[in-house]
Structures are given as structure tokens and as C-alpha cells.
Structure 1
Amino acid sequence: MPSLTVKPISVSEHLAFIRTQPSVSFLQTPAWAHVKTEWRSESLGWYDGRQLVGAGLVLHRSVPRLDRYTLAYLAEGPAIDWSGEIDRWLDPLATYLREHGAFAIRLGPPVHTHTWSAAQVKEGIADPGIERLTDLPGQAYPVGSGVHIQLSAAGWLPQNPESGFGTGHPQYRFEIPLAGRTEDALLKGMNQQWRRNIKKAAKEGVEVELGTSAELKAFHDLYVHTAERDHFTPRPLRYFETMFAAMSAEDPERIKLYLARHQGELVAATILIRVGGHAWYAYGASSTEKREVRGSNACQWAMIRDSLAAGCDVYDLRGITPTLDADDPHVGLIQFKVGTGGQAVRYAGEWDLPLRSITYRAFDLYMKRRESRRKRP
């Protein structure tokens, strides 16, 4: 098999390649580089002769006291053929990045290793003998298993914490398959509580409409309120303004703001991102008052319907933890998402390849110390 070469490509070349793919993570689009302004970015292409056959967005970040070198990060990427011999793709990437100052590569192959149906997950939560998704007999995917085996054999190091959430992007997600389905079929696939909440919102007169960039401030105010209630650190308004501007400039259909109002009052708001046949529920916010009118469910149903109408194959509710222990505080997240009738998905996760061992060990020690400080009360 002929060898591949890796070299920089232009934004227009990168976008042209993405348009030829069924789907590419929004974290691998050129626009994402404008969102992550604290990282230096470049688009790389894989060439088979003169033909562009793969592409990836690489974000470079230096580490304190290691400014000479960078961590090269390809979140949920790159967009290559993961089904065969992956050394053919990753060896030239490692060569290029090492020559250009990277001390390590971190990437996240966008391939499934296992899936579990909503019914399986629900049964697992009800069974006191089941604590994690991996305790259930999920459907295995040979491509994902092959990627795991090949990365391990090539010296890549898994970066996937037991909790499912780490410093990178979640390994476990909840997704609703849309291909070949109708709105009625999607509704029937939801549990009774979800269907009841969607009907309740309609009965109460909740109206969902698309917002403009000028209404991001209203979304953000509600998002900050949600962060205070649910105890997480909110991103600044400027982050969302930058994201909306960059993604909209790249493709006017890339990002949408949904606003749910009841009697003129904003009760919920969400952000949807779409690339090709994949749609992501990226951010959400809801008011504590008037929760009974179910504005959040109304927003979700509007996004699911619009994703179906746009021809998407997948509606992605993003991260979950793999816990099914009824006493674990994180189980509520998967219970909420499992009500949509989709499936829990385990991806290959994130992996590191050290290119400069001493520097990588120093980086690893720095990250562990930082995480330890973050966890202190």
C-alpha cells in the first residue's frame, strides 16, 4: 500500500474536504480554531499522491516552563479512514508534528467501540448488581476494537478516566439515531415522561423560535443562572459570541440558537451545532421558575425535529458518565438522556503519543498536580 504524506492545507481546502464526508466533528472544523483562541492552530492534510484523503485540525498549546514545545491536540479527530492499518495514517502525522515542535500528540478517534440501547440502560439502572455500562453486554464494533488494539500496540497511551469525564472530551455519549425514522417514530421511542413533558409544553403555550446573535446575551444570562443553580463554572458571553460568529461565517447552517418562551418570558435556551449528518446539543440553560412548563423539553424536541428535517443521521446529546449505580449522583444525567429513547455510545476515547519522553513526563506531572489542586476543597 503506497505511503501517505502529511502537510499543511488551507482553510478552503480543509472545508472542501469536510463537505465530502458524511460527518466530521465540529471540533475538527477550521471555525473551531477561532473559538479556541488560546491555542495555536493549523489544518493538516493527508495525501495519497496528489489526492487529499484525510484532514485534521491541530490545536497547539504550550505548557508552563515547556514553552519550547507544544501538545498537539486533535479533538474527536482526525478525519481519516480508521477501518484499516492506522499506522499508515498516524506515523506520518507523528513525523510531521515532531519536526514542528510537538512533544506529544493527543487525539480522539471518532469511532464507536460499543453501544447500549435505552432499554438496556434502563434495566441496568434498575439492577443493583449493575454499576457501569461496561457491566452490560453491549453491541461491539470491530473498527473501534481494532483501533484500540492498534493504538496500544503502537505505544499510544489511553487518557480515559473511570468516571468518563476528564480534561478532554467525554468518551461516553448519548445519541439518538435519526436515519430512516419519522417524528412519530421518534416520539414513540421516548419514554412516557418525555412524551408527557413535550405535550405539556405545547399545552402550556411554550413557543420555541430561532434566535439571532443579538439574543446571545439573553441566552447567557439564563445560562449563568443555570450554572449557579447546578454548580458549574459558566463560560463568558464572549466565548459564545465568538463561537456563533466563527461557525456562522463558515456555514450559515452550522450553529443555531433556540429560545423557548412562555407568555413572553424566556424559560429555556439551547445551542445546536450541525456538520453534515451529525447534530449536537452543545449547550443548554433553563429558568428555575416555570420549570413546570417544560421549556427544556420543548427546545430539545424542536432541535430533534429540525435535525431530522435537515437529513441528519444522528442527534447527539453529548457526554454521559458510564455509571448505572442508582446511588451515584451522576446517574441522573443518563436517566434524563435515556428517556429520549436513543443509545449510549462508547467511543475509542482520547490517546496520547509521547514524542519527547522527558518533556511528556514533565507535562504529565504538571497535569496531575493541577488536577490535584483543582480537587482540593
Structure 2
Amino acid sequence: MTTPQRSERSAVPEAPGALLLRPIPPAVHAAFLRAPGGVAAPGGVSFLQTPAWARVKAGWQAESLGWLDERQRLVGAALVLYRQLPGSRRSFAYLPEGPGLDWADPRLERWFDPLLEHLRGTGAFAVRMGPPLAYRRWSARTLKDATGPGRRIGDVLPDLVEPLGAVVCDRLRDGGWRRCGEDGQGADAQPRLVFEVPLSGRGLDALWTGLNQEWRRNVKKAAKSGVLTGVEGPETLPAFHRLLRITERRDGFALGRDLAYYQRQYEALNAERAGAVRLYTARHQGELLAAHTLVTAPDGGRVWYQTGASADHRREVRPSNALQWRMMCDALAAGAAVYDMRGVPDDLDPGSRAHGLLRWKLGTGGDAVETVGEWELPLQGAVNKTLHRAMHAYLARR
């Protein structure tokens, strides 16, 4: 995949402790992400930072970048997506849930300086990134006790503030970055508030007792009703997509993703690493009632429940509960440390429609986690700030 033109850099870091940034082949990038300890960030690496993700994102150019130390060892990596602003030769650079670097390094500038210089050389007028770090956490119990009319998660004192996430936020602000959603910046492209079920150090019994009574009852009901769960291949993606359209109409949202998007994702991520994406299904009397996609991190440490779809009928046999339980059990058996259920609304008002999704995920006994979020930086002065605003308007229309 082609990338914007860039300026050449020296082949050796210029000072002790300095890092060299250079383009790397996608195969080298993918191997680095799979290697144990390859990425130092506590959150590991997201599937959105894999080279394969570039083949999913139609309309974006992409390149893999790597940081090398003074011994020419690869110590960090990033997937950068570029979106050209219509009518301009300039582009917007985006690092979704990345980059993968040592966020605990007290000298973050030695990572950022060569990255920003490189992006300026490509003609990028602004950059957005999403450090893969947690900022605040709330347990299911804390949020259940705080539920009430007009209440939101942000109103509740968190159970834990992650020190590294808090420090990184401060350092980014000091460096001129602005968090999306603040000071007129655009909204996050990825969910800032997610839901995680911890798996590390737990057995199957602990995972089961972590579910609330309603969840346990529904999983048992699905089994008694004869719901069968399984993993199916890409031939079931069209049926999954039809169920997704039903789910969108029923629940009042629109992802705006066609069948080809899910087919590209399935093909690209699995071509890079077998089993990276799996399609889980729940059938009752042979009929497909629910289908969910599960994505596994390159190092296997985290799995994501990415997209769920279900039928409008036979909901009383609880196919989605059965499917989630199967997916969590498989993630636990595979040695994953976290089962990530992706985004949740921050609405604690039981009378609101949005609260239903949060309530459903709270039943798994996990934690609501506010991530550090996405941050942006204009790269070359006032002209680029104008282009930055134009890009925000363009992306909002899309």
C-alpha cells in the first residue's frame, strides 16, 4: 500500500539514548507484535495497530513504522493511517489505539520527536493517536450501587485511578496535545469508555460466580432450551450481517459498515495470523439467532468482543448470553488475561435506553474502564489548524 512522500533520515540515532524511526516491512511489524515482550505498554497492542488492519480500512493509505535503539534493535512499532483531505495534497495521520511504545519511559520525547518529524515529512497537517492505556476504573458493584435518575459514570468516584494513564495525560498536555472532545477537538473515533472482564489468575468457577444471578439464569436457560454455540467460517458472514442490520434497527444505532467490510476484516486479519478473527454463532433448532465476532491480540493477551448481532424472535432462549459465556470460556482456556467487551455508554439512569447495554455488560462482573482516550496535535502552524478543522468537518459528515 502506497504512502505519502517522506523525507529520508539518518541510519543511526544521533545521540546516546536517541531512537531512530524508519519504515519497516509489514511482515517485520507483525512479527514484532507477536513476540513476547515486544511492546512494553501495559495494555499490550490492539488489533487496530496490526499491519493487517491497513487492508481493512478502505480509503486510507498506511505504513508501518519502527523505532530502533542505538544497537539497531526494534523496540517499538506503529501503524499510521493517512487520510487525504479532498481538494488538498495534505493528509491527516491517525494511529488508532497506538502507537506501541514504552509509555512509562520518562523521556517520551525521544519517541515522539522522530515520529512528528517523519509525519511532517509526509505532508501530514495533523496527527491523532490513542495511547493504549487505562485511566480510571469502576467495578460492576460500584456502578450498580450508583445507578439512579440522571446519573452518569463520570459522576461516580472511581475505584482506581491508573498512575501511568494519569501521568501520560499530563505529559501529553504539556507537549501541546489536546484530548479529543476537549477544547473544541473532534470526538474520539474509538470508544473511550470500555468494559473489561479480567481473566488472569481466574478459573472457570470464578468466572461463573462472577456473573450476576440474571446472567447465570439466562446461560442455564439457553442450555436447557437447546441453544447450540459454535465457531463458523466466512460463509456465515452474510447471515451475520443480516442479523446486524436487524440489531441496528431494533436498538437504534447504525455502524454504517457493509458486508464487504467484515469480509475484508475476516480475510486480512486471519491471513496475517490464523485465528485472529472468529465468528461465533448461536443456533436454536438449526436457525441462526445470534452471531458475534471475536478478535484476539497478536500476543494472545487480550480478546475483544467486537460486534454482536441477534434476531428479533426467540429472544426468550437467550442466545446472546450463551454466546458470550462460550466466548469468555474460550478466551480463558486460551490464556487471555482480559476479555474486552469494547464500548459502553456512561449512562447510569435506569430509565434511559442507553443504560440497557451498560446494564447487560455489568452483569458479567467486570469493570468499566475509561481509557486515556484519543489525542490530536496540529503539525505546522496556523495553516494546518485550518486544514485540521476542515478534516474534522469532513470526517463528521462521513
TM range (shorter): over 0.9
**Structure 1 residue 224 displacement after superposition:** 1.5
The amino acid of 1:91's aligned partner reads D
Partner of residue 364, structure 2? 340
Q: Output the TM-score relative to the length of structure 1.
A: 0.93
Query: In the aligned structure 2, how far is the partner of 1:288 from the partner of 1:161?
Result: 38
Q: Does 1:230 align with 2:251?
A: yes
Q: Does 1:192 align with 2:213?
A: yes
Partner of residue 264, structure 1? 286
Partner of residue 33, structure 2? 18
Partner of residue 11, structure 2? none
Query: Does the residue aligned with 2:166 lie in a helix, a strand or coil?
Result: helix
Q: Output the TM-score relative to the length of structure 2.
A: 0.88
Deviating beyond 6 angstroms after TM superposition, the runs of 4 or more aligned structure 1 residues are 371-374
CA gap of 1:373–1:242, structure 2 versus 1, over 3 A, is closer
CA gap of 1:91–1:323, structure 2 versus 1, over 3 A, is farther
Query: Does the residue aligned with 1:218 lie in a helix, a strand or coil?
Result: helix
Q: C-alpha offsets along residues 16-65 of structure 1, whole Å, 9 cap, x if unaligned?
A: 11012463100000110000021000000011120100001000001223
CA gap of 1:135–1:367, structure 2 versus 1, over 3 A, is farther
Partner of residue 77, structure 2? 55
Report the aligned-residue RMSD: 2.0
Contact between 1:107 and 1:351, CA under 8 Å: does it hold in 2? yes
Partner of residue 373, structure 2? 349
Contact between 1:160 and 1:349, CA under 8 Å: does it hold in 2? no
Query: In the aligned structure 2, how far is the partner of 1:172 from the partner of 1:373?
Result: 23
Match of 1:30 among 31, 38, 51: 51
Query: Does the residue aligned with 2:147 lie in a helix, a strand or coil?
Result: helix
Query: Does the residue aligned with 1:181 lie in a helix, a strand or coil?
Result: coil
Partner of residue 8, structure 1? 23
Identity of aligned residues (%): 46
The amino acid of 2:252's aligned partner reads H
Instruction: Mark the runs of 5 or more structure 1 residues left unpaired by the alignment.
Output: none
Q: Does 1:297 align with 2:321?
A: yes
Q: C-alpha offsets along residues 288-324 of structure 1, whole Å, 9 cap, x if unaligned?
A: 0000011111111111011111100000000112232
Query: Does the residue aligned with 2:67 lie in a helix, a strand or coil?
Result: strand
Partner of residue 169, structure 2? 148
The amino acid of 1:14's aligned partner reads H
Contact between 2:136 and 2:158, CA under 8 Å: does it hold in 1? no
Query: In the aligned structure 2, how far is the partner of 1:371 from the partner of 1:240?
Result: 21
Match of 1:244 among 266, 271, 281: 266
Contact between 1:216 and 1:241, CA under 8 Å: does it hold in 2? yes
**Structure 1 residue 12 displacement after superposition:** 1.3
Query: Does the residue aligned with 1:346 lie in a helix, a strand or coil?
Result: strand
Query: Does the residue aligned with 1:270 lie in a helix, a strand or coil?
Result: strand
Query: In the aligned structure 2, how far is the partner of 1:140 from the partner of 1:100?
Result: 37
Q: Does 1:313 align with 2:334?
A: no
Instruction: Mark the runs of 5 or more structure 2 residues left unpaired by the alignment.
Output: 1-15, 38-43
**Structure 1 residue 343 displacement after superposition:** 0.3
The amino acid of 2:262's aligned partner reads F
**Structure 1 residue 167 displacement after superposition:** 4.8
Q: Does 1:358 align with 2:382?
A: yes
Q: C-alpha offsets along residues 101-128 of structure 1, whole Å, 9 cap, x if unaligned?
A: 11111000001111111101111114x5
The amino acid of 1:285's aligned partner reads A
Q: C-alpha offsets along residues 237-276 of structure 1, whole Å, 9 cap, x if unaligned?
A: 1111111100110111201001110001111000000012
